[in-house]
Structure 1
Amino acid sequence: MDPMLATPAPDRAAGRDDLGPAFPRGEGWLYEVKWDGVRVLGDTRGPVPRLLSRNGLEVTTAYPELAGLAGLPGVLLDGEVVALDAGVPSFAALAERMHVRDARRAAQLAAARPVTYLVFDLLAAGDEDLTARPLVERRAALADLPLPEHVELSPAYPDVDELWAVTRAHGLEGVVAKRRDSPYRAGRRSGDWVKAAHRHGRTALVGGWREESTGSGRLGALLLGAPDATGALRFLGRAGSGLTGAVAADLRAALEPLARATSPFDEPVPAVDARGAHWCEPVLVVELAYLTRMPTGRLRQPVVRGRRTDAAADPWERT
């Protein structure tokens, strides 16, 4: 089953800039934290628990600390796996975990810094498909489950203004508004769920990379792109921020086997960005944060947050 997706909230409520985005309001809505992690479906309907990413990849091996889900036979959960850094979810910390497929290495990482699975929906229980039932009924059933260690219920709140302010003050990603009576629309982006983040974020494809100008040979910048409506690869810009430590090492190792002789972009890359570039096949997806998007379509001040294997690149049109 593909997960249900949220639609973006309009940027601002007219005349109410202090309240942030124009979230839907009223008694028919509840509000949750938008967690900075990776979407995971937890399926215990088979002989052993399975963890599946947003695009259906098996990620069970990466998170051995969630093996306690076996104590919840016959359920299908939806939630977010997060890695906490000083009590705040850190995508950079999670990036070290999400690509691991070696069981021994995963066990070592889990012992050093276990993840938390924050579940927010229950899609099946026993032989019953719950997706057609209202959200509040699904959450009530979820709240009754004896969740194991490292698995927690993601709380819901009645006041979006307060939650928006608190998430901003504590460095959390954002807020999701959900209609209380909404069914679970698998694989669909629905207006029954509305999201907003305190910073812009998107995924992009890597079409090339450059080494540091110091001559160290280390990864210095990525050349980023996204497919437009015709499938052509458009240039989003060059990002060097965030390429440190384990993130840079992981990306360099993943990019080198993808080398090609020519640019994969379907438009000219500015000479200032293309100078010294190593081109690569545009298949590796990275997560980005950025300040804004310029009229040319390029991202302003993009920061690389890590590699993604659980999601495709967002299209060119998305800001």
Structure 2
Amino acid sequence: MRPMLATKGTHVPSGPEWSHEVKWDGVRILADVVAGRDGRARLFTRNGNDASLAWPEIHTSPLGDRDVLVDGEVIGLNDEGLPDFGVLQERMHVRSAQTAARLAERVPATYMVFDLMRLDGEDLTGLPWTERRERLEGLGLDGSWQVPAAYDDGAMLRDATLQQGLEGIVSKRRSSRYTFDARSPAWVKLAHRHRYSFVVAGWRPQEGTTDRLASLLVGEPTPDGLMYRGRVGSGIGGAATRLLSELVKPLEVDASPFADEVPAVDASGTHWVEPRVVVDVDTLSRSPVKRLRQPSYRGVRSDIGPEDL
């Protein structure tokens, strides 16, 4: 069982046939509660994997033993009070109930429920979004399960989410049905991408080669040294590969210039370089950046050096 997915948009759809919601920076989860389980939900990821153990605080339905199947996003708040996928990463792959309970105390999660596909044994997937939404709002969810607001003005919501540092918006046709395991043009997502400058401190070759640059390891200068922020491969095409190779290969050194530890999956096969070259990167991550999300290389900054960051 996999959720319905949105298509990537280039602009906010307008008109009375659309409704708009905040795009949450969290973990997509389907919650399935079957009568006779004492309200215990089975939680499934977007890939269909059972994640019930990882989220004990949302594992029990606030509707008790009532039969229900809902779709939503599990979110956690960072130090700035904003939903942040990064704070949940430690919790996503937990396989120990004891560890899950401890992490739930330290990083509590909330389930933002935005769709209702089954209620009291009735399949609602063939109903328009407006009818499913009305029934969802009528459930009175509160506490660890919440129903986020929907808005008529998509342009306003886009601007507001950008100003507030949220991830973006999702626009939904009011007439849309719910189709499992499908990417539908009836749901359109627009994520806010942010651009930052980072210092290159390593490069990795293309798989099957030893000398063709395919990705960069980048970091941020701090008072504690150069801190690792992630690996960037998207956006590095033929011309960029040649330019970057000319810039970084003469700077190779024997050891990592990063002050913190680089994850083994990124460090393996990396050529370390002196941190002199600055590049611009687009990412879904917001400032302050702890780890890049879906980063894309945008170009070399020849006008500034590491000391300017």
Which TM bucket (shorter chain)? 0.5 to 0.7
The equivalent of 1:110 in structure 2 is 104
Q: Residues 6 and 184 of structure 2 are in contact (CA less than 8 Å); yes or no, is this contact kept in structure 1?
A: yes
- Structure 2 counterpart of 1:5, one-letter code: L
Note the C-alpha offset of 1:281.
Answer: 7.5
Q: TM-score, normalised by structure 2?
A: 0.66
The equivalent of 2:169 in structure 1 is 175
- State the SS of the aligned residue for 2:31: strand
The 2-side partners of 1:135 and 1:167 are apart by: 23
Q: Residues 76 and 123 of structure 1 are in contact (CA less than 8 Å); yes or no, is this contact kept in structure 2?
A: yes
What do the CA deviations read for 1:49-74 (whole angstroms, capped 9, x no partner)? 11111111111111111133161531
Q: TM-score, normalised by structure 1?
A: 0.64
The equivalent of 1:80 in structure 2 is 73
> Percent same amino acid at aligned positions?
40
The equivalent of 2:91 in structure 1 is 97
What is the number of equivalent residue pairs in this alignment? 246
What do the CA deviations read for 1:120-148 (whole angstroms, capped 9, x no partner)? 00011122211111001111111111425
The 1-side partners of 2:217 and 2:161 are apart by: 29
- State the SS of the aligned residue for 1:141: helix
What do the CA deviations read for 1:258-277 (whole angstroms, capped 9, x no partner)? xxxxxxxxx99959479769
Q: 1:136 to 1:62 in 2, by over 3 A?
A: same
The 2-side partners of 1:224 and 1:116 are apart by: 40
Give the one of 216, 220, 223 matched to 1:237.
216
Structure 1: gaps of 5 or more residues = 11-21, 202-212, 214-219, 227-233, 243-247, 252-266, 283-297, 315-319
The 2-side partners of 1:144 and 1:56 are apart by: 28
Q: Residues 95 and 307 of structure 1 are in contact (CA less than 8 Å); yes or no, is this contact kept in structure 2?
A: no
The 2-side partners of 1:182 and 1:144 are apart by: 19
**4+ residue runs of structure 1 moved beyond 4 angstroms?**
220-226, 267-271, 273-282, 301-308
What do the CA deviations read for 1:146-186 (whole angstroms, capped 9, x no partner)? 42521100210011111111111110000111000100121
- 1:28 is the counterpart of 2:17: yes
- State the SS of the aligned residue for 2:60: helix
What do the CA deviations read for 1:61-104 (whole angstroms, capped 9, x no partner)? 11111133161531111000000124310122112222222111
- 1:57 is the counterpart of 2:38: no
- State the SS of the aligned residue for 2:61: helix
The 1-side partners of 2:130 and 2:139 are apart by: 15
- Structure 1 counterpart of 2:44, one-letter code: L
- State the SS of the aligned residue for 2:25: coil
- State the SS of the aligned residue for 1:101: coil
The 2-side partners of 1:221 and 1:305 are apart by: 18
- State the SS of the aligned residue for 1:69: coil
Q: 1:32 to 1:83 in 2, by over 3 A?
A: same
Root mean square deviation of aligned Cα: 4.1
Structure 2: gaps of 5 or more residues = 208-212, 222-226, 231-240, 257-261, 267-278, 296-309
The 2-side partners of 1:141 and 1:224 are apart by: 53
The 2-side partners of 1:307 and 1:162 are apart by: 27
The equivalent of 1:196 in structure 2 is 190
The equivalent of 1:142 in structure 2 is 136
